[in-house]
Amino acid sequence: MQKIPSVNLQDFLSDDSEKKKVFTKQIGTAFNEIGFVALKGHFLSDELTTNLYKEIKHFFELSEEMKKKYEIEGIGGQRGYTSFGKESAKGKKEADLKEFWHFGQYVQNDEVLKKQYPENVIVSEIPEFNSIGKETFQLLEKTAKYVLRAIALHLGLDEFYFDPYILNGNSILRPIHYPPIQDKPKGAERAAAHGDINLITLLMGAHGKGLQVQNHNGEWIDAIAQPDELMINVGDMLSRLTNNKLKSTIHKVINPPEELWGTSRYSIPFFMHPKAEMKLNCLEECIDANHPKLYEDITAGEFLTERLIELGLIKA
């Protein structure tokens, strides 16, 4: 596959059962063959998207001293600010050329779970940053819920299989700033080749060259979405759950040509995580004589902890 397919969520949401069936097949095939799809018809408005980018730029333009007061020790970067050069891809010693922020779950009607998650960090200097971040988080979470319903149908599961696991799940909205490159990077990239940890990722900001996806032949393909599209990919948790039927595709953000080193890049992934207790044991529907079980049994919480240690965000 040499091109990222495009689908429209409104087909799945329509009353036309045939459109819903076609959407389910298209997204299932795309995730099976390359692990990425471009999605139109999501719940984000143009106005909200514009305002979100404006507020994110405001935050990253704050002084280093001001930003660092929002860098919270001891929570593995799960909320608030993570400064430049702190995160590296699995197996890579060079840190990625980025800084980022984390909005986390806004737990509803579950006081026990609310105490398990770190609280969201409030930026006092930019009130709109907090409210627009929350609205974006919730609309991307809503979009992801329907994508997972289509995936469940594709796998032969009940349509609502994922719903109880993602309700109040440990999801993250991560506005990322790739600052202008000052000196020639020594082996470092804006985001080195990696697979995502979670179930699925919804990415805003893949509208220009930079994001690349590796196909099954080992070739790197430019993944460029239209302005009204989100780029969606399978994460490692969903890959484990489906015994690699749905593939977590390796991707990266390459450095721009030298003449564009002076420019910033912004991208905003939403990482859809389930609750920690969800079992990622390979589904029986995805195991047969030709596809033996590939992974050990593990919960989502255990798997997340393993990966955060590998990324250097928490200590073993």
**Domain at 36, CATH number:** 2.60.120.330
CA 283 from chain center: how many Å?
Answer: 22
Give the count of domains, the chain.
Answer: 1
Asked whether residue 90 is domain-assigned, the answer is: no
The torsion of the CA quartet 153, 202, 163, 121, rounded to 10 degrees, works out to 170
Sign of CA dihedral 10, 15, 21, 24: positive
Asked whether residue 193 is domain-assigned, the answer is: yes
Strand 172-173 relative to strand 230-234: parallel, antiparallel, unpaired? unpaired
Asked whether residue 250 is domain-assigned, the answer is: yes
- pLDDT given at position 206: 61
**Considering the entire predicted model, what is its pTM?**
0.91
Q: Which residues contact 160 (CB under 8 A, 6 or more apart)?
A: 149, 152
Asked whether residue 88 is domain-assigned, the answer is: no
- pLDDT given at position 1: 47
Asked whether residue 156 is domain-assigned, the answer is: yes
- pLDDT given at position 217: 78
Residues 150 and 27 sit within 8 Å (Cβ to Cβ): yes
Six-digit token pair at 252? 């990266």
pLDDT band at 227; cut points 50, 70, 90: confident
Domain range for 164 is: 6-77+98-310
Could you read off the pLDDT of 259-307 as tens digits, one per residue? 777 788 898 999 999 999 999 999 999 999 999 999 999 999 999 998 8
Could you read off the pLDDT of 11-67 as tens digits, one per residue? 999 999 999 999 999 999 998 888 889 999 999 999 999 999 999 999 999 999 999
Asked whether residue 93 is domain-assigned, the answer is: no
Asked whether residue 134 is domain-assigned, the answer is: yes
The torsion of the CA quartet 117, 176, 246, 165, rounded to 10 degrees, works out to 20
Could you read off the pLDDT of 107-143 as tens digits, one per residue? 999 999 999 999 999 999 999 999 999 999 999 999 9
Asked whether residue 39 is domain-assigned, the answer is: yes
- pLDDT given at position 214: 86
